[in-house]
Structure 1
Amino acid sequence: MLSVTDLQKTYPSGDEALKGVDLDVTGNETVAVIGPSGAGKSTFIRCINRLTEPTGGSVELDGLEITGLSGKELRNARRDMGMIFQEYNLIERLTVMENVLSGRLGYVSTWDAFRRKFSGEDIERAYEVLDRVGLEGHENNRADELSGGQRQRVGIARAILQRPKILLVDEPTSSLDPETSRAVMDLLTEIAAEDDIPVLINIHEVDLAEEYADRIVGLRDGEKVFEGTPADLDETARGQIYRGEEIPDDTAVKRPSDDDDPTESTTQEGAMRRG
């Protein structure tokens, strides 16, 4: 389970990108993080695996405190967190297979990593993963020969090959057409279900979040202002996330007027006191 507690990020300029965000992700659920530009979505994802250093709070993965690690311990912990990047983060001059196998670099020696030498088991599994993400037959293509959707699939395959405990996904559909975007989201949610690992996705497209996520988290100005199911993301919640509107206080007890049934009002007041 991923457990994020009071996560904060303040830049040297004094800008607060995250202001104490809490979140738990468990099982094989897909959790989507939405919000306007500048809300802190990418910072949140990158602080979890410390590609961006948080300035406060804690991140735990299966009980291991990530924020206190350094050196080899941090590198080992990152093997359990598969990262899928918005801009793919591929080495363009290398082949698809070489890019995918880079997901195993954390498991080989420095010398073998330099020579890009991997075990037969890793290579066999890489072929299986490429088939799984729809890239069978493309293993010898250079990354710069691929379409955007294919590049994103290479990034997903690389992350799968890590055998991670969680997938962290930063804007996977931002440069893709609608049809390809849905194909990528189909693939990510299938991985979550079949491999029994959670997926945490930062995404701009609210319709995709509603369609594919089990749970949605809304960030605004570095704060978590919404958490619920897609069904909970009504116009009031959208207004709070994207326009900063306050949620009306529906808990106030209505005072009975002459036209109200006093019995009904008393019953409602009593029920609210008990709740």
Structure 2
Amino acid sequence: MLSVTDLRKTYSSGEEALTGVSLDVTGSETVAMIGPSGAGKSTFIRCVNRLTEPSEGSVVLDGVEITDLSGESLREARRDIGMIFQEYNLVERLTVMENVLSGRLGYTSTWNAFRRNFADEDIERAYEVLDRVGLGGHENNRADELSGGQRQRVGIARAILQRPKILLVDEPTSSLDPETSRAVMDLLTEIAAEDDIPLLINIHEVDLAEKYANRIAGLREGSLVFEGTPAELDETAKGQIYRGEEIPAGAGPAGKVESDEPPETPSQASEIRRG
């Protein structure tokens, strides 16, 4: 379980990228984080694994406080956090297999990593993972020979090889055509369900978030302004997330006004219509 409490990020310029965001991700659920450009989505994900240092707040993964760690302790904690990047973050001149095996660097000595000397068990499992993501037979291709969708699959395979406790995914479909985007989202959510790994995805495409996520978190100007199911993400909620529109007083999580009045009975409804 990932539990983030009051996460804040203020840059040296004084810009507040995150203003106190709290969010839990549990089980094998898929949580999609949506919002306009500059809302803080990528900053949030990068603060979770300390690629960006948070200014304040708590990040706890399965009982381990990530924000308190440094050095070897932080390196060990990052083994449990799989990261899939928007721009793939592959070494272009290396083969698919070498890029995938880099997911085991956290378990390998510096000398063995330099020599790219990995355990037989890791190599065998890398072949299995490549088959799983649809790249069987491509292990010896260089990364720069692949299409965008194939590169994203290499990034997914690398993250899976870590055996992570959570997968963080930053804009996985931003450079892909609609069909490839759906295939990548199918793959990610299938892996999360089959391996019982929670999935936190920063994504621009609202329709994909609604289709694939169990829960949606909406960010605007560094603040969490919506959290609910895809069914609750109605036009009122979207207006709040993307245009800063006010939610009516007494509204529920999807912007629907809640009333203390009991629901009308069928007979009452009939009387009203007759009147």
Same fold (TM over 0.5): yes
Q: Which runs of 4+ in 1 moved over 6 A?
A: none
Count of residue pairs the alignment pairs up: 257
Q: Which amino acid aligns with 1:202?
A: N
- 2-side partners of 1:250 and 1:89: how far apart? 45
Q: CA deviation at 1:249?
A: 1.2
Counterpart position of 2:172: 172
Counterpart position of 1:248: 248
Counterpart position of 1:41: 41
Counterpart position of 1:254: none
Counterpart position of 1:237: 237
Map of 1:126-205 to 2, 5 A cutoff? 126-205=126-205
Q: Which amino acid aligns with 1:60?
A: V
Map of 1:73-88 to 2, 5 A cutoff? 73-88=73-88
Q: Which amino acid aligns with 2:147?
A: S
- 1-side partners of 2:72 and 2:249: how far apart? 50
Q: Write out per-residue CA displacement over residues 114-150 of structure 1, whole angstroms, 9 at most, x where no aligned residue.
A: 0010011000000000000000000000000000000
Q: Which amino acid aligns with 2:156?
A: I
Gaps of 5+ in 1: 252-264, 270-275
The 3-state SS of whatever aligns with 2:68 is coil
Q: CA deviation at 1:250?
A: 3.7
Counterpart position of 1:56: 56
- 1-side partners of 2:113 and 2:132: how far apart? 25
Corresponding position: 1:70 with 2:70: yes
- 1-side partners of 2:195 and 2:186: how far apart? 14
Q: Write out per-residue CA displacement over residues 158-216 of structure 1, whole angstroms, 9 at most, x where no aligned residue.
A: 00000000000000000000000000000000011000010000000000000000000
Could you say what the CA RMSD is over the residues aligned between the two structures, in angstroms?
A: 1.5
Map of 1:110-125 to 2, 5 A cutoff? 110-125=110-125
- 1-side partners of 2:38 and 2:60: how far apart? 25
- 2-side partners of 1:96 and 1:250: how far apart? 53
Q: Which amino acid aligns with 1:198?
A: P
Q: Which amino acid aligns with 1:132?
A: R
- 1-side partners of 2:10 and 2:191: how far apart? 34
Q: CA deviation at 1:268?
A: 2.4
- 1-side partners of 2:29 and 2:47: how far apart? 20
Q: Write out per-residue CA displacement over residues 242-273 of structure 1, whole angstroms, 9 at most, x where no aligned residue.
A: 0000101146xxxxxxxxxxxxx9x828xxxx
Counterpart position of 1:104: 104
Counterpart position of 2:208: 208
Gaps of 5+ in 2: 252-258, 263-275
Q: Which amino acid aligns with 1:224?
A: L
Counterpart position of 1:268: 261
